[in-house]
A and B are shown apart, each in its own frame.
Chain A
C-alpha cells in the first residue's frame, strides 16, 4: 500500500473525490506507515480507532458528494493543539495525562473540512527548541540518513532511545516535519514562534509556511509567546501547504489577536505568474562565515525567480542582527507568564508539598525540562523590577525598528524578500547546545525576524547540500499576502524540481 502514502495531499484529495480510493484505505496505509516508523519517534499519541471512524464518516460524505476541502485526508497534529479527549501535552511532563475537554480552533477547522486525525506529533517541549531534542518523549529522528550512513546503521540508531548520530528534523515542529517527510501523514499542523515551522521544513526537504500573525486563531494552542506564536502547515508541496492553510486560517472571536479578514483561496495562487514581481535580497542576511553552499543556493533561487520574470533588487534591513537577541528576551518573557498556569492545581502533574509554595516549586521543577526552565528563568529576570526597561522594553522597541525596516522595503515596491532558511543543513542529534544554549539559538537567525515583524514566511526545498541533505529557501511577504508567497514558492519548487524524499530505512 505504499503507493497511497506517496501521493501528495492534492493528489489524494482528487482521487478521493473521484472515488478511485477510499479514505479508509488511505488512512490505513498511513497508520501502517506510522507503525513501521516507530524508530523515528514522530508520534506521541496515535488515534487509530478515531482515525478510522473519521475516515468512514468521510467516505460516506464523499459518496453523497458532500466533500469538504480536506475530506478524508489523514493529517497529523502537533501536540501543541488542544484536541478534545486526546493527549495534549505540548510534549511536557507537566501536562501529564492532560486530555482537554475542548478543541482548538485550528484543528476544529480541519475536522469541519473533513480531515482525518492520525494522532499527535512530537515537538520540543512547549515549542522551545530548534531540534526536537527537548521533548519529554525523547528526540525525533529525521527520515534523512546522515551522510554516508548505511540503512542498517540508521535502523540500529533508531532503535536506541537517544538516537545519537541520526539527524534532527529541526524544531520545535520536529515530529510534524519528520512525519510529513517520511510520508507518515499527508500533511501536519505545526506552529512557529521563531522558526519552528520553517527551519524543520528546510531540514527535512518539505514546505512550511508561517502565515501573518493573526491569520490563524491561537485559541486552544498551548501558548508559548503570545505575540509571536502562529499556527501553520507542513506539507510536501507548495500546493498542499496552500490547501492546508486555507482550512486552518480564519477569523475567530475567541482570540482577540486574530484578524477578522476573510481567507482567500490560497490554492488559486499556486501557479500564478510571478512576472513583474520585485524580489528583495537583503544584504544583512549574508552572514560572516556563511557557507558558500548556502550562498550559491540563495543566488540560484534568485536566478530562478528572475528567469520566471521577477526582478531582483538589493535591499537593506539594518536591524536584522538584533532580531535574535531581542527574540530571546521577548519570547522567554511572555513564556514566563504564559507558563505560570502550570502549577499542579487544576490539571497535569502534581508533586506533593507541605504547603502551596512547595507544591508549586516541586511540581514545576519536576514537570519542566531544562530548556523550558532556562527560558522561564531568563523571562522572569528580564521582566523583574529594575531590569524591565533595560531588557524587555528595549527589546520591544527594537522590534518596532525591525518591523519598520520591512515596511520601508515593502513601501519601495518590493513584493517579497528572498533569504536562506537556515545557516546549515540538518545536524546530528546530540551535536549542538550541550555546552552553550546560545549555539542552538543561532539556528533561528534567518527566521526570527519574520516573527518579530509579524510577517508571513514560507520555506520551500531548493536543493541538496554537497552531502546530500536538503536545503531550503525562505520567502518573506507583506502582511496577509500569503498568496504572493505561494506563487513564488511554486516557482521555486518547479525550478528546483520536486524533492525526492528518502525511502524508508527505519523499518
Chain B
C-alpha cells in the first residue's frame, strides 16, 4: 500500500497541516516508508479475533450528576491568544 501525491495533499488537509508543494514528495516518501513497514501485518490471521477495546479489564466508571465544575471563565480564557468580552475570538468560518 502506498499513497500518491494527491492523497498526501488530502491527508494534510484532513489533518489541517499546511504542507508546501515542495514538501509533498518528501512527505510522501516518509509516509510510504512507514506503510511499507506495516505491511508485515497483512499476513497475520486475525479471523475471529476481536479488536482490543479495553487494555485492562475494568468497568467504565460513572459519575454522579452534580455540578462540580465550571464557573471558571477566567481560567478557561487565560491561555487564549485572543478573547473579547468572555468569548474566544477566531477569524471567520467560511461555510
Contact = CB atoms under 8 A, between A and B. Distances in A.
Interface in A387-437: 390-391, 393-401, 403, 436-437
Given A345-B90, A357-B94, A399-B52, A438 B34 contact: yes
Contacts of B11: 377, 380-381, 384
Contact of A325 (B8, B37, B82): B37
B31 interface: yes
Interface string A196-231: 000000000000000011100000000000010000
Contact of B46 (A328, A346, A394): A394
B44 interface: yes
Contact of B16 (A357, A441, A479): A357
Nearest to A441: B37
B3 A359 contact: no
B34 A373 contact: no
A253 B61 contact: yes
Interface residues of A, number: 72
A325 B30 contact: no
Contacts of B67: none
Contacts of A28: none
Given A354-B91, A437-B30, A398 B46 contact: yes
A360 B16 contact: yes
A99 interface: yes
Interface in A299-342: 319, 321-322, 325-326, 328-329, 336, 340
A98 B81 CA distance: 11
Given A346-B79, A368-B17, A397 B50 contact: yes
A257 interface: yes
A336 B44 CA distance: 25
Given A329-B38, A356-B91, A454-B55, A397 B46 contact: yes
A401 B44 contact: yes
B66 interface: no
Interface string B2-31: 010001100111111111000000010011
B50 A328 contact: no
A284 interface: no
Given A356-B93, A437-B30, A328 B14 contact: no
Contacts of A352: 91
Given A253-B61, A329-B38, A401-B44, A438 B56 contact: no
A336 B15 contact: yes
B51 A400 contact: yes
Given A360-B16, A365-B18, A325 B40 contact: yes
Determine which residue in B15, B27, B44, B49 has the highest number of CB atoms from chain A within 10 A of its CB, and name it: B15
Given A328-B38, A378-B31, 7 more contacts: A257-B55, A343-B16, A345-B81, A356-B91, A364-B17, A377-B31, A397-B50
Interface of B: 1, 3, 7-8, 11-19, 27, 30-31, 33-35, 37-41, 44, 46, 49-52, 54-56, 58, 60-61, 63, 75-76, 78-82, 88, 90-94
27 contacts: A101-B78, A101-B79, A214-B58, A253-B61, A257-B58, A326-B41, A344-B81, A346-B76, A350-B82, A352-B91, A356-B91, A356-B94, A358-B18, A362-B18, A364-B15, A365-B17, A365-B18, A365-B19, A373-B19, A374-B30, A378-B31, A378-B34, A398-B46, A401-B44, A436-B33, A437-B34, A438-B37
Interface of A: 97-102, 212-214, 227, 253, 256-257, 259-260, 319, 321-322, 325-326, 328-329, 336, 340, 343-350, 352-362, 364-365, 368, 373-374, 376-378, 380-381, 384, 390-391, 393-401, 403, 436-438, 441, 454, 479
